[in-house]
Structure 1
């Protein structure tokens, strides 16, 4: 590691074996609230585009001047309806200009905005999570873009409702001095929004997001990415505004830097990615933001069509990923694609954080180029030994003051660091974390075998998914058992690529034979904690109402194991009933699966 990198980051060792890493660069001055950023850019560049959404073959654009005026009118309308610091607005629908205008109105007048997952409204059948969130938040008003599609969800929320058709009338409201009084009353401690965690390891928690923590986080990013001062960023982005990556990182990156966010109505999900490619082609970004699953698909498209890569990357400053680890091969591939398309080296940057940290807490910058990087200016991370792992903890200006209606003290350690529950490992062979740390899964998902040996669940699961090629996801099983097994789901498109289109018994047998061979390779030379001895393929999709899967598509391991306890028992039977479940194991004792299930592979 170079001396320059070491000098930029402090390091201290604590008696319990923890290490605290900090950035030597102090946090610079920044606006006290996000509303101040809106007003600044509305005065400085009123005609610049803040955001846009798809409108036929083109875009409907919203300028900073229009956004500030619209926020004032809607802010007055909210105040007229009794909304305020203790009377939030709940939003059920996804990213849109109407959603943005209401959010900015809340920022301007001190009304907490509570964006919720569209899946809780449209994919759920009993709206249990929506009711739970509503009961905790107690909104004074609820908004949905389409009153028809969201009718059942609106009925589940105990609050007056407004829909997209109401916005023109509300935008005609004339602001009074009440809006200015509300703006003047804003402080860094004012709640800007309440974001709910995904619930991958439990029920979603309402995280209080203050103006101060969100504004501070954007200042941290400006300090590590000085090119933001050279030209306002342009993002063409699909990431949803009910999660911190899309809502706080990306949207505020545009808002606080005079930039533009073009709302991509596609996503990496099957059947939706063509829309993303169309959006990126129409509005090439200066900062490309996505999750690894999105970049994997982009890399395929770029490789097949170098002209597409040249168009999309024509003005690129940086390629940024977060939300999951990016395989080394894909990172190298993206760099090569960008170099071929632009004739220069384009940074491929990672970042890590959480809803509780505003979100960005670490990034790769300043010569620290490994894994998820190092702490941002104004932030410290602690690497704390927990159950043989290193948990990453965060202290700094962008950390939440707490949860809504829930105790926060247990989420903070004795030194004031937020306990993330995420594990990391030190990237540098010397053991010095100032070159960067590598994400290493969720500690809560780890478990012990009956021998007392810990199974690092995330690491083994990633090996299984990577080796299998045809699995969309899996949950590892083995708490207090003598060996590890797995419940898994197949990815239909990947099955067709590897096995073929046929859905007969022979194809099912081929799938299981393939998985059995995968387990044999996976387990070669490994100890019990790094082996998967048996795997069951299930066709029943994870149930969002039962809490098995989050709106982000992440599995909740404990909920899956509770709901599928019978599968767990069958996995550990001396001889599983293979007429009822599809099982592959390392001994390759594969039998045909019955047609009822095989048709759903």
Structure 2
């Protein structure tokens, strides 16, 4: 079904005799601008009074128009250059999402000064600050911005060194106020902007660092702009109606910090910064914002969608406001359950009288992130779609799976200070190795899209030589326990049978007898040894960020959990099958 709101892709498909398949989206996305900053200048000229950014300010909103944003970028950019910053002396950002955070990052892009926003977990959750210290040591920043000096005081102390510190509130000793960055004379910044090249660094985004120190992914101006050209080509409705977004996801991650944030500004929309989160209590702020602002494009993780659906069912006026102007819904970060999918699509149809696309995608920090996108309405969740325009997807047979690799105008040139890792990320034909396996929705028609089929590095063999698809099995196991589990780790490499280490949901104290019965039910659904889990251990302690057991995004590192919890693995395989509880 052709829909003028989205692309109508055509593909070239080549199959080699060894089973390798190449799928290329024909054509090139129209080039809208050379840089994000140039595109903001475009909107500042054509719609100077339109609101670009908004955040809560008491009962009201602090708003910045495109005209004001353009001037602030130039003035702050001049202030950065006056302090000796540049391509080799970046800005390290320790802050939640905020207008000041946005102004600083965009000023850096205007003046050719790279910025790097790092996960707040590295500063506020970590007890050791090892990851943050590693980030600072790699970047060697010339300036550190801490949104709240008191809130980030421990993190600043852990970094140490003689570096300029700027804060928006509660300054630490010697810190400069954010307002002091802006200069009236913007000539130096204007000259720097005129000299920007596509291969210059616009920003750094850090990987989660689940297997060691986080890697700094280089984001060039051309990489970001070409990725946004692909987004605009896919979401044709953006040209018809500039996006209105209410978004909480952190800018330290590529999903919001690159795709959503830049998408809004590239297309002349309005980004409402949501201080809420998909968590009990924190979701109330999101609901408050959605009662005032009707989005046209909305993203959340499945847990957040679950909370929103309950609120929509309890408040018809809220549901009508939310769905009334909505062009699209998107989820990512975890698999979505069928009941949630049905609830959202059904309510959207009931409220609006038409279908509202609910979808997901596949990408990585290294890919911009926009790479694969599903725009065809589906009856169930999971289809991650097809390659974006100009992207080639390479599918390589690997132990019975199809390993995905990508070539794209928006692939990173590499990692800062890591030439070996930069070289290793590409195969011998220059394709970026995602590390993910994909399964075609229809092997006879690849244009029908793909399903995520697990991380290649996570999969292992049982002692019998049977391969275990860990990602898909873990997702089914967690879903089977209906919200009682935060996550699970699949164990059994080289053993005769599988087991699982179970992390209970935050704040949950599930009944062991009930969990045991659910484990038996799950085992009864197995089709063989690679899907049968008949023994499990309910863990006492949550996954540890500093030990690399969990990333700052909340995803579990299988191998780190197994490595750091040998006693739990021993308990898992001791005695009879069934459920055991750690510490009892």
TM range (shorter): over 0.9
Residue in 1 aligned with 2:102?
100
Corresponding position: 1:324 with 2:334: yes
Q: 1:366 to 1:530 in 2, by over 3 A?
A: closer
Q: Do the aligned residues in 2 keep the contact of 1:224 with 1:366 (CA within 8 Å)? A: no
The answer to which of 60-69 and 268-277 deviates more is 268-277
SS state at 1:69 partner: helix
The Cα of 1:332 is off from its aligned counterpart by 2.8
Residue in 2 aligned with 1:578?
none
Q: Do the aligned residues in 2 keep the contact of 1:46 with 1:65 (CA within 8 Å)? A: yes
Q: Do the aligned residues in 1 keep the contact of 2:357 with 2:377 (CA within 8 Å)? A: no
**Distance in 1, Cα, partners of 2:363 & 2:535:** 34
SS state at 2:457 partner: helix
SS state at 1:121 partner: helix
The answer to which of 65-74 and 361-370 deviates more is 361-370
Q: 1:52 to 1:167 in 2, by over 3 A?
A: farther
2:489 pairs, out of 475, 496, 511, with: 475
Residue in 2 aligned with 1:258?
268
Structure 2 gaps, min length 5: 170-175
Q: Do the aligned residues in 1 keep the contact of 2:462 with 2:493 (CA within 8 Å)? A: yes
Residue in 1 aligned with 2:567?
566
Residue in 1 aligned with 2:385?
373
Q: How does 1:20-169 map to 2 (within 5 A)?
A: 20-157=22-159, 158=161, 159-165=163-169, 166-169=176-179
**Distance in 1, Cα, partners of 2:478 & 2:360:** 22
**Distance in 1, Cα, partners of 2:396 & 2:405:** 7
Corresponding position: 1:484 with 2:492: no
Residue in 1 aligned with 2:400?
388
Q: Do the aligned residues in 1 keep the contact of 2:337 with 2:479 (CA within 8 Å)? A: no
Q: 1:441 to 1:199 in 2, by over 3 A?
A: farther
Q: Do the aligned residues in 2 keep the contact of 1:463 with 1:522 (CA within 8 Å)? A: no
Q: Do the aligned residues in 2 keep the contact of 1:368 with 1:434 (CA within 8 Å)? A: no
Residue in 2 aligned with 1:278?
288
TM-score by length of 2: 0.93
**Distance in 2, Cα, partners of 1:556 & 1:271:** 28
The Cα of 1:493 is off from its aligned counterpart by 5.9
Residue in 2 aligned with 1:508?
none
Residue in 1 aligned with 2:531?
530
Residue in 2 aligned with 1:219?
229
Corresponding position: 1:517 with 2:527: no
Q: How does 1:172-571 map to 2 (within 5 A)?
A: 172-200=182-210, 203-365=213-375, 371-406=383-418, 407=420, 408-428=422-442, 430-469=443-482, 470-491=484-505, 511-524=511-524, 525-571=526-572
Q: 1:201 to 1:297 in 2, by over 3 A?
A: farther
The Cα of 1:160 is off from its aligned counterpart by 2.4
**Distance in 1, Cα, partners of 2:187 & 2:294:** 41
The Cα of 1:492 is off from its aligned counterpart by 5.4
**Distance in 2, Cα, partners of 1:366 & 1:523:** 34
SS state at 1:91 partner: strand
**Distance in 1, Cα, partners of 2:197 & 2:323:** 39
The Cα of 1:215 is off from its aligned counterpart by 0.7
**Distance in 1, Cα, partners of 2:395 & 2:288:** 42
Q: Do the aligned residues in 1 keep the contact of 2:372 with 2:387 (CA within 8 Å)? A: yes
Structure 1 gaps, min length 5: 500-510, 576-584
The Cα of 1:112 is off from its aligned counterpart by 0.8
**Distance in 1, Cα, partners of 2:556 & 2:235:** 34
Q: 1:419 to 1:272 in 2, by over 3 A?
A: same
Number of equivalences: 566
Q: 1:263 to 1:176 in 2, by over 3 A?
A: closer
**Distance in 1, Cα, partners of 2:147 & 2:9:** 51
SS state at 1:124 partner: coil
